[in-house]
Amino acid sequence: MSKLGIGIIGGGYMGKAHAAAYGSVGTLFETALRPELEMVCATTNLSAEKYQKNYGFKSSTINWKDVVNNPEVGAVVIASPQSTHCEIALAAFKNGKHVFCEKPLGASVEESRTMLTAADASGLIHMTGFNYIRTPASQYARQLISEGRIGEITWFRGEHTEDFLADPLIPTNWRTEGVSNGTMGDLAPHMINAARALVGPISTLSASIETVHKNRPGGTVTNDDQAQMMCKFENGAQGHLFFSRVATGRKMGYAYEIHGTKGSIRFDQEDQNALHLYTMDGPEEEKGFKKILTGPAHPDYKAFCQGPGHGTGYQDQIIIEANDFLRAIYEERNIWPTFSEGMEVNRVVSAALDSSEKSIWVKISDY
């Protein structure tokens, strides 16, 4: 059984999620490649030492270069702010490390392209962190679509809506500053990724992006609260996407509805273990959406539980990611979503920002 040293840069919410994932993925998926938590990097010595102790790492540091230079680290997980992703990834590839990078990939499309070029040139494994599309239900939705169960896709509606900033009296904080922390950098990439995974590449779009609560206690909000965009996919399907962090009452509104010539699919992350399928076959009096509860027969479910309907959760999505990353390294082949997907999602975000500013339809190929 081979072992792989894992270095995680960023020990906060996502750093903890990845540490927990790599601590359990070997047992759950019985992986051929077993990860070992080698080093964690945080911004202060106190935090680094805390994460090392609580998460089970062998060592800690406040300098990310220590992680990418550590000979015991074979793969680097980047869970630090978006502005740091490019420099870290380039250094990691240069030092022969495989790289998993949280979304958004780079701070700009140009950075994302630079990261992808370096990744491809290195011959190493690279992956972008889009965890929500990995639920057993969404994986099954992709399978149904690829098998032609709902025919040719004609329309897609997707949203990623939450309400953590719905209250205008919440003071300004790190989430209210910088493009990468706004809705277009935080929530939008996940649903854009879902749209691409389920329907295909987007060709054109028209977006409207706004800040609903421009002023909060403590100062002015400098990024966006919500956005919507109409789009056209390369396969001819039409679509509408909506993203919001001020959608009152929505806690995890990662949801989509897909219409095809033979049927439809509905999904809502707030009920992530169920998929709703409608097909046009059968007698008229029996037609309607069927609720499918995920179980061992669906992708990646059996590793967690042998009982249908018992369900998986958020942390399980991160564990599935870890399994995919380890499998890619062991099999020496990249597994989707790679840096290429991260870059393509960033292109759509960039196009949407430009479209909203100019109030025009734009082509993704121009970005």
- Dihedral pair phi/psi, residue 262, rounded to 5°: -120, 0
Percentage of the chain surpassing pLDDT 70?
A: 100
Q: What does the pLDDT read at residue 155?
A: 98
Q: What is the largest CA-CA distance in the chain?
A: 67
pLDDT band at 179 (very low <50, low <70, confident <90, very high): confident
Residue 313 confidence (pLDDT) above 70 = yes
Residue 63 confidence (pLDDT) above 80 = yes
pLDDT band at 1 (very low <50, low <70, confident <90, very high): low
> What mean pLDDT do residues 87-112 have?
97
Percentage of the chain surpassing pLDDT 90?
A: 98
Q: What does the pLDDT read at residue 180?
A: 85
As beta bridge partners, residue 126 has: 99
User: Rg of the chain's alpha carbons, rounded to an integer?
Assistant: 21
Alpha helices, H only, 34-153: 45-55, 64-69, 85-94, 109-122, 136-146
Whether the CA torsion 161, 166, 170, 171 is positive or negative: it is positive
Q: What is the CATH number of domain 2-130?
A: 3.40.50.720
Nearest C-alpha neighbor of 229 from the set 196, 188, 179: 188
Q: What does the pLDDT read at residue 27?
A: 97
Backbone angle region of 126, left / alpha / beta, with phi > 0 → left and psi within -120 to 50 → alpha: beta
Q: Cβ distance 205 to 348 under 8 Å?
A: yes
Residue 109 confidence (pLDDT) above 90 = yes
User: 0.95 exceeded by the pTM?
Assistant: yes
Residue 344 confidence (pLDDT) above 90 = yes
Distance CA 167, CA 300 (A): 37
> What mean pLDDT do residues 285-314 have?
97
At the topology level, CATH places domain 136-271+273-311+345-358 in Dihydrodipicolinate Reductase; domain 2 (3.30.360)
In this structure, what token pair is assigned to residue 26?
């070997």
Distance CA 286, CA 185 (A): 43
Residue with tokens 């935080």: 186
Residue with tokens 């290195």: 122
Cβ contacts of 117 within 8 Å, gap of 6 or more: none
Distance CA 255, CA 253 (A): 6
Domain ranges, ordered by start, for the chain: 2-130, 136-271+273-311+345-358
